[in-house]
Amino acid sequence: MANSFYPLYTKGQLDPQSEAILDQIAKANGNPFSSLTPQQARECFLPQSWIGAPIDGIQIDEEEITGKGGGIPVRIYTPKGKPPFPITIFYHGGGFVLGTLEEFDPFCSRLAAGARCIVVSVGYRLAPEHKHPAAVEDAIAALYWVTAHAEEIHGDRTRMAVAGDSAGGNLAAVTSMIARDQGGPCLVCQVLICPWVDLSTSATESFRVFGEGLWLSEASIHWYRSHYLESMEQSLHPRVSPLLMNDLSRLPPTLIVIAEFDVLRDQEYAYAERLQEGGVSVSCTQYDGMIHDFPTVPGLFNRAQDAIDEICMALRMAFMELSKTDKDDEDTTT
């Protein structure tokens, strides 16, 4: 039976909350992001009712670090407990154009509490004011800053992960590749939430069946990309489209969270397959009935917390496994 919002897709059924928000958007009859200026889109990107509220018990501090383009704001979420804590560096979504640190407070606070780690959320430069490679430069600068200042923020530089959603998932994947190629910090895990890993094409089945959607459409993808890149030629570079990297070996164990009703779904599965071919340990979870980037809006979707719980468990296991390995090494040498 076809879905009323996605009549070309007959294999699954929208979750009731996914259907409800799409119905709300349809009835509002508002302008899609692709018809707005970046500033207009930023003003209505993530309503407070969608993102929920930060959870209690997480200390939130702000810093400004230095990158190639000047100051980079970061927000540091520290859980209760005894330091040093493992660290997750988080890159938010928004198509490289939208998103603020404040809008991802609720998600990051849940991540810090559930994974029992410090979360460093990075306010990288946005397009079109700052086109590629500005976001990538800021992403890698944040990784090196956290590594150098881990003790100051009560973190453990030997247990670090990266995570990101949508465009932020792209930055997390690219940061992992750059760290590997530069002999940089060793990451124990990368968490990619509905990641946009190939900006070069929309020629996939998931684009065909979901491309006219009200949530993340093909037109919106083109809008984001046109603001982020100087030219389509840039989309072929692996630091823009990590799916196109020739060598995807020696990357950290990876969790990819996938929404069934998402134009990016097929490229996410393709990335998982490429990682596995490179010998990387990969876990993929598809959340049936859900739409793009649902985990980052826990105020909107009940299943967002299910995905957050899975992410936190994957991070805890990665941090714990490294601690166990270190202890085993110490026992061997004594």
Secondary structure (DSSP) of 137-182: HHHHHHHHHHHHTTTTTTEEEEEEEEEEETHHHHHHHHHHHHHHHT
**Alpha helices (H) in the chain, listed in sequence order:** 16-28, 38-43, 48-51, 105-115, 134-148, 167-181, 205-210, 218-228, 265-277, 303-333
**pLDDT per residue as tens, the chain (334 positions):** 568 899 999 999 999 999 999 999 999 887 888 899 999 999 989 988 899 889 999 999 999 999 999 999 999 999 999 999 999 999 999 999 999 999 999 999 999 999 999 999 999 999 999 999 999 999 999 999 999 999 999 999 999 999 999 999 999 999 999 999 999 999 999 999 999 999 999 999 999 999 998 999 999 999 999 999 999 999 999 999 999 999 999 999 999 999 999 999 999 999 999 999 999 999 999 999 999 999 999 999 999 999 999 999 999 999 997 655 554 544 444 4
Determine the Cα–Cα distance for residues 124 and 210; give it in Å rounded to an integer: 29
- Is residue 74 situated within a structural domain? yes
- Is residue 93 situated within a structural domain? yes
Q: What is the DSSP letter of 252?
A: P
Domain membership of residue 274 as a residue range: 47-328
CATH of the domain at 96: 3.40.50.1820
Among 125, 119, 124, smallest CA distance to 163 is for 119
Q: From residue 118, give the alpha-carbon distance in Å to each of 94, 134, 181.
A: 23, 25, 25
Do residues 166 and 197 make contact, with C-beta atoms less than 8 angstroms apart?
Answer: no
- In the chain, the number of structural domains is 1
Determine the Cα–Cα distance for residues 200 and 197; give it in Å rounded to an integer: 9
Q: Which residues pair with 256 in a beta bridge?
A: 192, 284
Strands 187-193 and 282-291: unpaired
The whole-model pTM stands at: 0.95
Do residues 137 and 69 make contact, with C-beta atoms less than 8 angstroms apart?
Answer: yes
- Is residue 32 situated within a structural domain? no
- Is residue 21 situated within a structural domain? no
- Is residue 289 situated within a structural domain? yes
Tokens read off for 4? 């009323």
Q: What is the DSSP letter of 230?
A: S
Cβ neighbours around 92 below 10 Å, total:
26
Catalytically active residues are 166, 262, 292
